[in-house]
Structure formats: structure tokens, C-alpha cells
Structure 1
Amino acid sequence: MAMRLCPSFVNPLVASNLCFRTSRPICKFSICSHMVDSNKSRKLVLAVKEKLEKEHRNLPVGKNGRDDEDMIFWFLKDRKFSVEDAVSKLTKAIKWRQEFGVSELSEEDVKDVAQTGKAYVHDCLDVNNRPVLVVVGSKHFPEAQDPAEDEKLCIFLVEKALSKLPTGQEQILGIVDLRGFGTENADLRYLTFLFDVFYYYYPKRLAEVLFVEAPFVFKPIWQLVKPMLKSYASLTKFCSADSVRKEYFTDETVPISFRD
């Protein structure tokens, strides 16, 4: 199996193994469309763009704004190329990004909460060439930690993972490490936030979510959350740490916490 290489990023958000970086692609709708031909997709993108300009002129423009054609195309794909549905979901997403201040988030903003080690973007891609977002459940303490800071860290890391997408790749891998997870780590409010984030604001960006070594106490939590996820529940997989090592990484690229 070929080794996947990417850069070392020396800060508290990531592990310390060294790799080389793959640059982020500039993926235009005329190249990425797999469901409609390029001429039709172009017309649909323009139709959404014009409708947003006409009906939502107060929305920001530029990258991730109402005139961002890459973003428009992605939401069109998510809404099965329905202009009306894409406009509705895009409007909500762009407003949320503006209100949350997504584009202004920096490492400095999340430095303190990142130092807990509860979540990070792994240095290296997995064997399927996907950026990897790791969550460590045993380090999340909802009673003692500020939920607003947790949300900022989440969005910062999602944006960071997406910025590492290599050419031809559109999705990321999520790993939820549940080793050592206890009832004090359970947080239904935060899980609901995560669901909203990936359903409404980053649709179809998650390729798969691995629940690693889930303990017995996690099972009732999952039974509560699963109905909320609807079709997204099919993206989840319960597995062992050994499976993560052998199926998703090489010896050189596996996260430090999953090494033998």
C-alpha cells in the first residue's frame, strides 16, 4: 500500500509525526459535475446566483458568499440540483457562517480549548486520500468546559480539514476515539450541534465516521442520537483501534494515539 504523505504542523492542534503536504484543489463545477452535464450545471449555478442576488442582497459576497460558484455548485449537488432547495439551504448556511464568524476564526481563538487534546486534524491523509478529523471523547467534559469554545474548535477544525482536501477528493474522515469514555463525557447538546453543522452547513463533507472501541455506556447515548442523524447514521462504523490502524492508515501515517 502506498504511503500517504502530508505536512507536519507543529502546534497543539495536531500530532507530531512528520509528513509532506498535498495542496488544496481549486475544484470548479465544470470539472466536478457527475450528475448533470457542464452546460446544464453552469445554467443552474447561474440561476442560484441570480436568485440569491435578487432575494438576498444583504448576504456577503466573495469566498463562501452568495456569489461563490464552487459553494453554490456543492449545495446544488446536495439538493439534487433543485434551484429552490439549494437557495434555501445556502441562505441558511451563509447567514450562519456570517453570524458565527467562521472566516475570522484563528488558531489563537481556539488555542486554550485545543490544548485539551479533545480534537485535532491529523497531519496525514488516510489510505483513501482523505483529511482526518480526530475527536477524543474521554477529554470532553461538558460540565467543566465552555460549550461556546467547543463549538469554535469544532468549526475551526472542520475548516482546517477541508483546507487539506487534495485534488479530486471532496470528503473527510471522522474518527471518534471512545477509549476511556465515561458518563461524565456524554454531551447530547454538543452531538446535536455536530449534526446540525454537518447537515446544514457542511453537507456531504463527511465520508465516514468511525466510533472506536465504544464502551457499554456509549450505547444508550447512540440509541438516542441515531434517529436524529437519519441518513447520516449510515456513515457511521463501530470498530476497534486495530481496525483503524490496519484499514485506514499505513505504519507511517497512523495517528500516534493509535500506534501499537
Structure 2
Amino acid sequence: METLTPEPGKSSPPLDHHHHSKHDGAALKDSTEAEVTKISLMRALVESRDPSSKEVDDLMIRRFLRARDLDVDKASTMFLKYLKWKHSFVPNCSVSPSEISDDLAQEKMYVQGVDKKGRPITVAFAAKHFQNKNGLDAFKRYVVFALEKLCSRMPAGEEKFLAIADIKGWGYANSDLRGYLGALTILQDYHPERLGKLFIVHAPYMFMKVWKLIYPFIDDNTKKKYLLRLRS
């Protein structure tokens, strides 16, 4: 396994890193006729509201549409909220390792090859995570760094990753409800349709109590399509 640590002197990949041109042919090739039409409608709408929308590719537009069941208005609102967050939270378009040194030092997240569908695999060890002494925003930046590193490893034509959360050894000292909810928000609201599957393994009874508090905040698409819980 390779720990989620940047190479010396390097920051994370640029936010929204992709291998595609803005109007990506792959998006049109793999899209339904309805999606093709709505990608065009949504692009026109969001570009009129925020000119920086012109820099994103059709695959990103499609991910937001799919996250809102192809409702152009809802997807556009979600996307414009994402852009506002990106400009304020990650103004340099990438996260510097110096901003997340405490979380990197915990070595709690690794990347390990790809699954049979070609999706990058990440493994997180919950027992290695402790609440960030520098505050919630520092941990959120670590989450952004991790997601962007995963996205940068996706081969052309792949948009999702697979995650394994190993809860073995987790105790209340590792409990960080605000951090978990912050990570969930970043994944669902700002990186929609990126998670392919989540496996939770070796979950002790104590963790399941915390999980019950998190579960209501998970959107229906994630519950229905991606989430799998495994208990020891």
C-alpha cells in the first residue's frame, strides 16, 4: 500500500483535476439523450451565473446532474454552491501539505491499486484518526487533498473510486462526529458521483452507535447505490 503522502515539494493535484477537455466527447458518448440535452442546458445556466463554470468539463456537469436525478435547476444550484465553496475554501485550487501536516503524519489513509472495474481503491484506518488540534477546517482540507489525489489517479473514462473503512481498534478517543460529517458533506455536496462503493469492515458495537448518528445525513442516492456495512 502507498500512504496518502505527497511527494516532497508537491501539493495536491489541482482541484477538479481531470484528463478531459471542457466539452468532453466521452460524456456525450456514454450519456443518454436526455443527459446530453440537460448537460447543454445546465452549462448555459451556470455559465451565465458564474463565468468560472466555463473551465469545467461536461463530465463534471453530468455528475452534478446525476446527483440530482437530472433536475437542471437543482443540479445547477448544487454546482454553483460548490463553486462558491471552492473559491473560498481552496482559493489556490490545491491543498498544500503544510496545511495538513498533522493529518498526514497519522498515516491513516492509503491508496492501493484498482478494483476489477478500474476504480482506484483507498483504505482508511479509523483507529489512526484523532480530532485535529488545529480545528475542523484543517481536517476538511485533508479530505479535499485525499479526494483530489484519488480523482487524479482515475484512468480516462473512470469517474469513481472504491473505499474501504477499516474500523478495527476504533474507540471513543477516535470518535470525531463533526469531522465525519464534514467529510461526508465534502464528498456528497462537492464531489458528487465520485464514490463507487464503500465497505465498512471490522466495525465494533461502539462505532455502530456513532454510525446511527451519521446515517441520517447520508443522501438517498448514496444509501441506495453505494453503501455496504459489514460488521465483525
TM-score range, shorter chain: 0.7 to 0.9
Identity of aligned residues (%): 24
Secondary structure of 2:116's counterpart equals: coil
Structure 1 residue aligned with 2:10: none
SS at match of 1:12: coil
Written as runs of structure 1 = structure 2, the 5 A alignment for 1:212-251 is 212-231=201-220, 232-234=222-224, 235-239=226-230
Residue 103 of structure 2: which of 113, 116, 120 is its match?
A: 113
The amino acid of 1:84's aligned partner reads D
Report matched runs for 1:134-173 at 5 Å: 134-142=123-131, 144=133, 146-173=135-162
In the other structure, the counterpart of 2:60 is 71
Query: TM-score, normalized by length of structure 1?
Result: 0.72
Structure possessing the higher radius of gyration over alpha carbons:
1
SS for the counterpart of 2:113 is coil
Q: Is this contact kept in 2: 1:13–1:117, CA < 8 A?
A: no
C-alpha contact 2:4 2:104 (8 A) present in aligned 1: no
Question: 1:14-58: per-residue Cα shift (whole Å, max 9, x none)?
Answer: 9xxxxxxxxx7535321221xx22xx544422322222233x24x
> Which secondary structure does the structure 2 equivalent of 1:104 belong to?
coil
Q: TM-score, normalised by structure 2?
A: 0.80
* Count of residues paired in the alignment: 215
Deviation at 1:151, TM superposition (A): 1.0
Residues 112 and 51 of structure 1: CA distance in aligned 2, closer, same or farther (over 3 Å): same
Q: Following the alignment from structure 2 to structure 1, what is the Cα–Cα distance between the partners of residues 75 and 177?
A: 29
**Structure 2: where are the runs of 5+ without partners?**
8-17
1:12 is matched with which residue: 5, 15, 23?
Answer: 5
2:126 and 2:213 map into 1 onto residues whose CA distance is: 17
- Choose from 45, 51, 55 the match for 1:51: 45
- Report SS of the residue matched to 2:114: coil
Give a deviation string over 1:46-101, Cα, whole Å, max 9, x none.
322222233x24x524544xxx4332222122223222122111111111111111
Give the structure 2 partner of residue 194 of structure 1: 183
Q: In structure 1, what is the Cα distance between the partners aligned to 2:79 and 2:182? A: 18
